[in-house]
């Protein structure tokens, strides 16, 4: 009982440290940097129900025209968080809680791995987790990407599985496969791009082991079985993306070749101007110290992690030469930096046990680690404040601001061109106009847009796309019809037509339609036969549509999506229960 109490104290310490990092974020309006608005919108959609992640199209936010958000951004992990904290009163409040809770989980994930698998002492495991959550745990939150930040919770599990495999002892292969699959699955259900990078890292790591190791049959067995298990456990995350992409010509989030070629991190800035990216150089400096003073050479994972990090810098010119290749789907080479640093740091922490045993002055070793962890917390608490809190130029968003930026679309007021210093209160996200800011055209069927450019743009500047956010119906003659009483919910959208539409007209509703997804349309309660035209729900009117007629669009979960989720759910539950049995066996032995 005493041991359990001490472990709970460590977990409480991680929670307190997380609270210190985020300071008084609950009590102040916040700025929404870069990607934050998009993820606030996703969280609002997921708050509607504990099963919201199963419904492919987002009717409640992001312009309320049915973007397939939950297909292209798997939402299981964020859904779990929203289900736990169901009592929130606004999307921004839920977003704040989600940032804090996922950061806490990231630190706890490291503590569990180091304490129960790597067998580090309680104090060292605690301060290692503090170092992790204060750097890696919040690194992706600088641009507001809570999805990527959540994906990093899986890295400790993946890294331990790979690390243990390179040191494998008899009878541990199933345990290793379980850790690798769980780690990759957490990433897949949080942020697909991070999952892709981690999968490539895993493949290279195992390939090198295959070349170096004499037990090649064992490695092939792990690669094969681990690949099958991971494929099944992530089927509900990756499968829907592939299916919808194959069936539909959607606009991908692509950047120009020049942006891809030049968007790399300057190594001189990183090393000579550490205040520019403390979330990167703090763990990097710690890794370098451990390499220099460690009694053993760095493990394969540390070396590969640092190589992945360098891929996002100007150390090599590969983005320039591959700027016209399919690899540009990652958008920015800098995406490699943070996962690379995270992997290198986790493998370094796993190496601590071996270095600790041979270190001459263990007490000084411990003191140095504790001091570095505390310094990291202090520095990164200031970074969080600078990124999210109001500054001297900040101005609070009002309902009038929302109306201005979401009513007039002239290429300037496209829903995005406001100052980054503007701050948002919890209450402002309860204003329905809030969901018409910053709406990308990413993942919209290309035929629904007038701009043929593949680059990421905002729907407020697109002539055809604006019909969606204005909720306007258009017929085959180009005549537009306004709607009113627009009422979106998780599963359905209701609207009324303001004026009569002639019979035999072919009309396009202001709701996106994707092949492979299921939607039903009724007019005044009567089922309609629909088809897809210009990427939207379309139908031919047999009779004139009277003014104030009620149109209702309802989405259903596709059968194939239910099957994929059942397959993944059974696999994940089996993996987690298997992991518990292994822990119980370890304790008995």
pLDDT digits (tens, 9 = 90+) for 256-307: 777 777 788 888 877 777 777 888 889 999 999 888 887 678 889 999 999 9
Q: Structural domain boundaries of the chain?
A: 145-251+558-588, 258-358, 444-557
444-557 — its CATH code? 2.60.40
pLDDT score at 589: 43
Alpha-carbon gap, residue 249 to 447, rounded angstroms: 8
Site of tokens 């089996």: 574
Q: Global pTM?
A: 0.93
CA angle (98 as vertex; 126, 437 as ends), nearest 5:
145
H helices, E strands: number in the chain:
22, 10
Alpha-carbon gap, residue 179 to 472, rounded angstroms: 50
DSSP letter for each residue of 186-242: HHHTT-HHHHHHHHHHHHHHHHHHHHH-S-HHHHHHHHHHHHHHHHHHTHHHHHHHH
Point out the residues of the chain with pLDDT beneath 50: 587-589
pLDDT score at 474: 95
pLDDT score at 554: 97
Query: Which of 63, 123, 577 has the alpha carbon at shortest distance from 585?
Result: 577
Alpha-carbon gap, residue 284 to 288, rounded angstroms: 6
SS (HEC) of 335-363: HHHHHHHHHHHHHHHHHHHHHHHHCCCHH
Query: Which of 216, 241, 227, 250 has the alpha carbon at shortest distance from 181?
Result: 227
pLDDT score at 355: 64
pLDDT score at 465: 87
pLDDT digits (tens, 9 = 90+) for 17-61: 999 999 888 889 998 876 888 899 999 999 999 999 999 999 999
């Amino acid at each position: 009982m005493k041991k359990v109490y001490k472990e709970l104290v460590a977990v409480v310490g991680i929670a307190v440290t997380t609270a210190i990092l985020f300071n008084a974020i609950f009590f102040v309006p916040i700025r929404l940097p870069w990607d934050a608005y998009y993820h606030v919108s996703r969280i609002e959609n997921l708050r509607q129900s504990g099963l919201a992640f199963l419904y492919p199209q987002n009717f409640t936010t992001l312009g309320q025209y049915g973007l397939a958000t939950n297909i292209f951004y798997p939402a299981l992990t964020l859904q779990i968080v929203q289900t736990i904290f169901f009592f929130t009163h606004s999307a921004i409040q839920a977003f704040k809680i989600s940032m804090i809770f996922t950061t806490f989980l990231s630190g706890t994930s490291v503590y569990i791995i180091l304490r129960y698998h790597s067998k580090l002492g309680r104090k060292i495991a605690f301060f290692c987790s503090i170092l992790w959550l204060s750097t890696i745990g919040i690194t992706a939150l600088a641009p507001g990407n809570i999805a990527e930040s959540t994906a990093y919770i899986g890295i400790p599990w993946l890294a331990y599985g790979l690390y243990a495999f390179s040191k494998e002892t008899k009878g541990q292969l199933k345990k290793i496969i379980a850790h690798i699959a769980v780690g990759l699955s957490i990433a897949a259900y949080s942020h697909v791009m991070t999952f892709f990078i981690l999968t490539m890292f895993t493949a290279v790591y195992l390939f090198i082991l295959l070349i170096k190791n004499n037990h090649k049959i064992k490695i092939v067995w792990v690669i094969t079985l681990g690949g099958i298990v991971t494929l099944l456990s992530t089927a509900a995350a990756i499968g829907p993306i592939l299916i919808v992409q194959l069936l539909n010509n959607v606009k991908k989030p692509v950047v120009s070749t020049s942006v891809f070629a030049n968007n790399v991190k300057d190594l001189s800035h990183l090393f000579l101007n550490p205040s520019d990216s403390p979330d990167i150089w703090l763990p990097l400096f710690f890794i370098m110290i451990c390499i220099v003073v460690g009694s053993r050479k760095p493990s394969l994972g540390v070396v590969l992690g640092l190589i992945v990090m360098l891929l996002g810098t100007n150390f090599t010119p590969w983005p320039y030469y591959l700027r016209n290749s399919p690899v540009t789907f990652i958008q920015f080479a800098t995406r490699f930096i943070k996962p690379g640093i995270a992997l290198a740091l986790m493998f370094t922490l796993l190496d601590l046990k071996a270095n600790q045993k041979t270190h001459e002055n263990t007490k000084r070793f411990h003191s140095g680690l504790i001091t570095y962890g505390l310094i990291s917390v202090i520095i990164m608490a200031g970074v969080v404040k600078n990124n999210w809190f109001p500054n001297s130029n900040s101005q609070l968003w009002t309902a009038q601001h929302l109306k201005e930026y979401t009513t007039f679309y002239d290429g300037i007021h496209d829903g995005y061109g406001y100052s980054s210093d503007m701050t948002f209160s919890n209450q402002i996200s309860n204003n329905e106009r809030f969901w018409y800011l910053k709406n990308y055209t990413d993942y919209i069927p290309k035929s629904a847009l007038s701009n043929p450019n593949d680059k990421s743009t905002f729907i407020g500047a697109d002539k055809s796309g604006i019909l969606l956010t204005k909720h306007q119906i258009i017929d085959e003659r180009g005549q537009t019809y306004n709607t009113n009483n627009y009422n979106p919910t998780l599963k359905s959208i209701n609207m009324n037509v303001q004026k009569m539409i002639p019979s035999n007209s072919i009309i396009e509703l202001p709701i996106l339609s994707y092949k492979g997804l299921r939607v039903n349309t009724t007019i005044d309660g009567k089922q309609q036969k629909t088809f897809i035209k210009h990427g939207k729900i379309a139908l031919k009117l047999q009779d004139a549509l009277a003014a104030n007629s009620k149109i209702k669009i309802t989405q259903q979960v596709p059968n194939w999506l239910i099957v994929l989720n059942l397959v993944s759910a059974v696999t994940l539950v089996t993996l987690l229960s298997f992991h518990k049995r292994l822990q119980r066996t370890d304790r008995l032995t």
